[in-house]
Amino acid sequence: MNTATSAAGRDGGLQPRDVRTLFLASLGGALEFYDFVVFVFFTAVIARVFFPPGMPEWLALAQTWGLFAAGYLARPLGGFVMAHFGDLVGRKRMFVLSVFLMAVPTLLIGLMPVYATLGYAAPVLLLVLRILQGAAIGGEAPGAWVFVAEHVPQGRVGLACGMLTGGLTLGILLGALMALLVNAIFDPVELVGWAWRVPFLAGGAFGLVAMYLRRFLEETPVFEAMRERAELSRGLPLGRVLAGHKRAAILSFLGSWMLTAAIVVLILQAPTLLTKLHPELAPAMPLASVAATLALTLAAVGFGWALDRFGQPAVMAVAAVGLVAAAFALFGGAAVRPDLLVPIYALAGLAVGAVTIVPTMMVRAFPADVRFSGVSFAYNTAYAVFGAATPPLTAYLARLTPLGPAFYVAAATLVGAAAVLVAGRTRP
């Protein structure tokens, strides 16, 4: 058997090479999400140093959030371009490029002059760097899922996607911990003066290390086999996805809605929503948020293992019930028992680990020659649509009823679960 033999054709356990690949992919994914979300934790400081001192605070914050949103808008474009070349010239090249395009802008944000030096050129330059970050992350997650799935045996695809998803969510935790550390060490004057740069410099440096380490990864056996057999996609891979794999694209899009709702509402948005609805929860919220994110990271791996052991339909059925129950427990039970906020939020984080099911379903839904493009199109389109619409919609629902965000998560979960179950009945 030659070296191009697909790892996906093996049914045994993980080999040392597979473990190394999963580790480096997960590490890079963590750094990618760390770099992206750390911007959120320092929004107030960025608003002060990148806009005129006399500008109203609300206007500076609004423009800073606009800079953050620009990264999301760039995700689909970056994802489509990287996926195109990933299907034509190789997964590894795009896998290395994505972390490079994330690390360099992050490092430059930590080094760039602010408004006091450049004037309005400073926020314009920051906008450019944010667009580059968004383009990078648009290619990182889909590319990483495809890369690891094509390296491991068929019976370990769920575990591979789970480890990668756990690595991505770990980046959120690392970003939060870095923010807590910087705010604890430096006083407000130091923070505004220079200390806000520390998280970006650290993220950029670690990203460059991840890029260097990824250079030693091998191209996926699946892609090598296609290249040897001259089976690589001809023409525009995305065009082939839209022409011949609409069903897989639609189901993956709907499944990604569940992923987006779970992550955005229950992990990223819940602390703000809950403390506004129930101010008495504010003191325990930082610890609860850390517990939830850590639980999510571990559960993502556990759900991946369960997918390989019990199958997609059974795990999805259990996960859907757990995710809906967790959403109502968090937004309903936490107010009744504020003393139990930490364990309730941790259990919600465990339930959110079910999002591992979505990338596992997506990499199985598309044939290898257009897999990168198919996954990237569905995931990035869904994230751009629902990532932008979910926060204002759930904030509005929360004003109608404290359980409004839970109803939204439940709706997305039911639709996503149905899509996953339907996709599980067919293979490309």
d(CA 71, CA 56): 24
329 membership: H or E segment, kind and range: none
Model confidence pLDDT, tens digit, residues 41-69: 888 899 999 999 889 988 988 888 888 87
Can you give the pLDDT at residue 13?
Answer: 64
Q: Which residue has the tokens 């480096």?
A: 24
Q: Which domains does the chain have, with CATH numbers?
A: 11-232 (1.20.1250.20), 237-428 (1.20.1250.20)
Check pLDDT > 60 for residue 9: no
Give the number of C-alpha atoms closer than 13 A to the C-alpha of residue 73, restricted to the C-beta side.
10
Q: Which tens digits make up the pLDDT trace of 215-268?
A: 777 887 788 887 777 667 667 888 888 888 899 999 999 999 999 999 989 998
Q: What per-residue string of b and e applies to 388-412 under the rule 16 or more CB within 10 Å gives b? A: eebbebbeebbeeebbbbbbbbbeb
User: Which of 4-8, 102-106, 123-127, 424-428 has the lowest average pLDDT?
Assistant: 4-8
Asked if residue 3 has pLDDT above 60, the reply is: no
264: Cα separation from own chain's centroid: 10
- Rounded mean pLDDT, 272-294: 89
| pLDDT recorded at residue 4 | 37
Contacts of 332 (CB under 8 A, 6+ apart): 402, 403, 406
Predicted model pTM: 0.84
Summary mean pLDDT of the chain:
86
Nearest to 133 by CA among 204, 66, 199, 62: 204
Specify whether the CB–CB gap between 219 and 87 falls below 8 A. Answer: no
pLDDT confidence band for 318 (50 / 70 / 90): very high
**pLDDT value, residue 244:** 85
Between the alpha carbon of residue 14 and those of residues 11, 27, 155, 221, 330, the distances in Å are 9, 18, 10, 14, 37
| Residue type, position 241, single letter | V
Scan for tokens 């250079």, then name that residue.
215
Query: What is the band of 5 on the pLDDT scale with cuts at 50, 70, 90?
Result: very low
Asked if 90 and 152 touch (Cβ cutoff 8 Å), the reply is: no
Tokens standing for residue 17? 């090479």
Among the listed residues 163, 170, 100, 109, the one whose alpha carbon sits nearest the alpha carbon of residue 135: 100
Sign of CA dihedral 303, 306, 307, 313: negative
